[in-house]
Amino acid sequence: IGEYRDLYPEIEAFDTGFLKVSDVHSLYYEQSGNKDGNPVVFLHGGPGGGTSPRDRRFFDPKAYRIILFDQRGSGKSTPAAELKDNTTWHLVEDIERLREHLKIEKWVVFGGSWGSTLSLAYSQTYPARVKALVLRGIFTLRRKELEWFYEGKGANFMFPDHFDEYISHIPEVERGAVIDAYYRRLTSEDESVRTEAARRWSTWEMATSHLYVNEEKLQKAGTEPTWSLQFARIECHYFVNGGFFESGSHLLDNVDKIRSIPATIVQGRYDMVCPATSAWELHKRWPEADFFMIPDSGHNSNEPGTRTKLLDATDKYKSL
Ligand SMILES: CNCC(=O)c1nnc(C(C)(C)C)o1
């Protein structure tokens, strides 16, 4: 399996701000690393997951001008967990607004999980603005991917214990459409109903995001109700709307628009949240992209084998 790499050292942002992108939403963004460096934008997962200071550490701070931002309703962006005007295509335009606001011509785009979904949607819409793509834990939001993880048609066979916690919250009569059942609760007028549904949904995802269950991450879903609500409510909103794509396979059908962009795809073989089939489908449509199936990883970006290949990829594109 070879030598594992560690993340780059902890660094602080040298600039932070809020960008008003609609009469409802303002986005938190930050810049770190080299202010005159090669710009890279980090697209976080979820949707609704928000960024964290550790996300800066996938990039050489001497080479990169590192830009993180919290997507609509996520992290420090306001209003928290707001679903109005919150769609894939709003986010694609937000990325362009942020790019223009920061006076950047072209940038490297880095995204995992939902962040890979958004990276594909953004680069297929604005290919001329993308220097290179680094994609991890491929999620194309096809119906079968949602059914695998959220509707009891796959991941639950590998994590039956944790799935019980998630599914037992929904009465049998509603289990034919679990995502819809959770959506009714996550958009309930009753805060206690929203909070418990968010805790169950987020705990299920945190429990299954690593090859070995990460107890610390598991606690986060239960001890950070605002984060849990942002994560669960925004994810569920995108899923009941099929990602706002006109067809289930929209992103895979449009790969030809980005095949000339330098790219690296990194996928954990034991990713239970975004199973490897989507990465494999993407790879077959995009033979020019570097492709790494990590033999001992699950979904998370910081599992050793995955982290190592992501760091190699950002090093490869640092001087573009
Ligand atoms: C489809 N949802 C998986 C996803 O995008 C995701 N999983 N974990 C995360 C965080 C690391 C942002 C919590 O995002």
Q: 36 C-alpha to center of ligand 1: Å?
A: 30
ipTM over 0.85: yes
Phi-psi region of 75 (alpha: psi -120 to 50; beta: other; left: phi over 0): left
Contact 243, 213 (CB under 8 A): no
Instruction: Give strand pairing partners of 205.
Output: none
Q: Which residues, listed in sequence order, are joined to residue 16 by a DSSP beta bridge?
A: 30
Residues with CB under 6 A from ligand 1: 44-46, 49, 113-114, 139, 205, 209, 235, 273
Whether 280 and 169 have beta carbons less than 8 Å apart is answered as no
Of the candidates 89, 82, 97, the residue with the CA atom closest to the CA atom of residue 41: 97
Give the model's pLDDT for residue 143.
97
If you measure from the C-alpha of residue 273 to the centroid of ligand 1, how many angstroms do you get, rounded to a whole number? 8
How far is Cα 160 from Cα 152, in angstroms, rounded to an integer?
Answer: 10
R_g over Cα of the chain: 18
- For the record, the structure tokens of 65 come out as 């001008």
Burial class (CB in 10 A: 0-12, 13-18, 19+), 188: middle
Ligand 1, atom 11, residue with closest C-alpha = 45
Q: How far apart are CA 62 and CA 68, in angstroms?
A: 16
Whose C-alpha lies nearest to ligand 1, atom 2? 46
Whole-number Å distance between alpha carbons of 98 and 104:
9
Task: With beta carbons less than 8 A apart as the criterion, state whether 288 and 264 touch.
Answer: no
Q: What is the SS3 assignment for 39?
A: strand
Written as six digits, the tokens of 191 are 């805060």
The per-residue pLDDT string of the chain (320 residues; one tens digit each, 9 = 90 and over) reads 568 999 999 999 999 999 999 999 999 999 999 999 999 999 999 999 999 999 999 999 999 999 999 999 999 999 999 999 999 999 999 999 999 999 999 999 999 999 999 999 999 999 999 999 999 999 999 999 999 999 999 999 999 999 999 999 999 999 999 999 999 999 999 999 999 999 999 999 999 999 999 888 888 888 999 999 999 999 999 999 999 999 989 999 999 999 999 999 999 999 999 999 999 999 999 999 999 999 999 999 999 999 999 999 999 999 99
Alpha carbon distances (Å) from 93 to 9, 98, 232, 258, 284: 32, 9, 23, 18, 29
In this structure, which residue's CA is closest to atom 13 in ligand 1?
Answer: 49
Q: How far is the CA of 139 from the centre of ligand 1 (A)?
A: 10
Q: Give, to the nearest 10 degrees, the angle between helix 191-207 and helix 160-167.
A: 170
Whether omega before 47 lies within 30 degrees of 0, making that bond cis, reads: yes
Residue 211 burial (10 A CB sphere; 0-12, 13-18, 19+): buried
Q: 113, 119, 278, 297: which is the annotated catalytic residue?
A: 113
pTM of the model: 0.98
Relative to the CA of 141, which ligand 1 atom is closest? 1
pLDDT at 136: 98
Give the contacts of 151 (CB within 8 A, at least 6 positions apart). 177, 178, 179
| Ligand 1 atom closest to the CA of 149, numbered from 1 | 1
Residue 163 C-beta-side C-alpha neighbours within 13 Å? 17
The whole-number pLDDT of residue 204 equals 98
Measured between alpha carbons, how far is 107 from 133 in angstroms, rounded to an integer? 9
In the chain, the DSSP E strands lie at 13-20, 26-33, 38-43, 64-69, 107-112, 130-136, 263-268, 290-294
CA of 62 to the centre of ligand 1 (A): 28
The residue type at 84:
K
* CB contact at 8 A, 251 and 120: yes
